[in-house]
Amino acid sequence: MMLTASLSNSTAFHPSTFILLGIPGMQDHHIWISIPFCSMYILALAGNGTILFIIMTDKALHEPMYLFLCLLSITDLVLCSTTLPKMLAIFWLDAHTISFHGCLTQMFFVHAVFATESAILLAMAFDRYVAICRPLHYISILNATVIGKIGAACVARGLLFVFPFIILIKRLPFCGRHILAHTYCEHMGIAKLACTSIKPNTVYGLTVALSVTGMDVVLIAASYVLILRAVLCLPSQDAQLRAFSTCGAHVCVILLFYIPAFFSFFTHRFGRHVPPQAHIILANLYLLVPPVLNPLVYGINTKQIRTRILGLGLWRR
């Protein structure tokens, strides 16, 4: 009897499972919605897998820029794979159930890998700044040891700032509430199901979004402003146009990474009138569109990698 009561109390505090509804109001269209998402997922796997294969097998590409690109491809693969397989299972197999600890694990990886990728984008912006503004010191500043330390710091920072999310969620009672109107588990989506104050979750989530990710955005912007100044000093107009084209593509992909992410973060806190369908679709796109575009913008757009892809017969003009 006491054991039954204890299990009942435990279930009331933390549900054993959550139900992921998918996209509310669009359940009848899940099969059709899955087609573009599945197509983009396949493109992300193929594109990032190709970039990784080429860089890892060609020693001539073991340079700072390509090593950072390698790190970006790994994070992209993990980022889209944390959510897309489960989302497709919901759409195709009606597999809406996820365990409480499985939900926390997915939440942790979504936010930790996003924070890691944000740090890697900052590192790549710094790489471009050093290459263009301090070319004579490029090799001495960004040697293999420094790149290894930067990569480790990116991962460590993501883990460090996201781990408290787990503690903040586990302290919340849910009073039997276990239905998530989403395709995957994220921090504020889970916290909103709680039957107590979630102010610590809100404050910490905003603090991380603004002070960590927001600072990355500011520093990336500062790097590209300095790069722009250096490009404008180039004597050749043709060189200026090439640099503008490359940097412009980089900035567009960076904006596609951050804008939907911040939209999703702030919608949870302030967007009471935002349709849930729009919120959920954008929350999925910021985890999927960058992994699709990054191999094209940072990889195939680079002459050395494009040449090797042509050599493998994987790309046709």
Which pLDDT score, from 0 to 100, does residue 242 have?
Answer: 73
* CA 162/CA 159 separation, integer angstroms: 5
Q: Which tens digit of pLDDT belongs to each residue from 21-54? A: 999 888 888 999 999 999 999 999 999 999 999 8
Confidence band, pLDDT 50/70/90 cuts, at residue 244: confident
pLDDT at 19: 94
Mean pLDDT of 77-103: 94
- Residues above pLDDT 90, as percent of the chain: 46
pLDDT at 3: 36
- Per-residue pLDDT of 254-284, as tens digits, reads 888 898 888 888 887 776 778 888 889 888 9
State which of 110-114, 261-265, 308-312 shows the largest mean pLDDT. Answer: 110-114
pLDDT digits (tens, 9 = 90+) for 162-205: 999 999 999 999 988 899 999 999 999 999 999 999 999 999 99
The model's confidence at residue 118, banded by pLDDT at 50, 70 and 90, is very high
The Cα 55–Cα 69 span in angstroms is 9
State the average pLDDT for the chain.
86
Domain limits, the chain: 17-311
Say which CATH superfamily domain 17-311 falls into.
Answer: Rhodopsin 7-helix transmembrane proteins (1.20.1070.10)
Mean pLDDT score, 77-93: 95
Q: How far is CA 223 from the centre of its chain?
A: 21
The whole-number average pLDDT for the span 294-307 is: 77
Taking the model in full, what pTM does it have? 0.89
**What confidence category does residue 137 fall into, taking pLDDT thresholds of 50, 70 and 90?**
confident
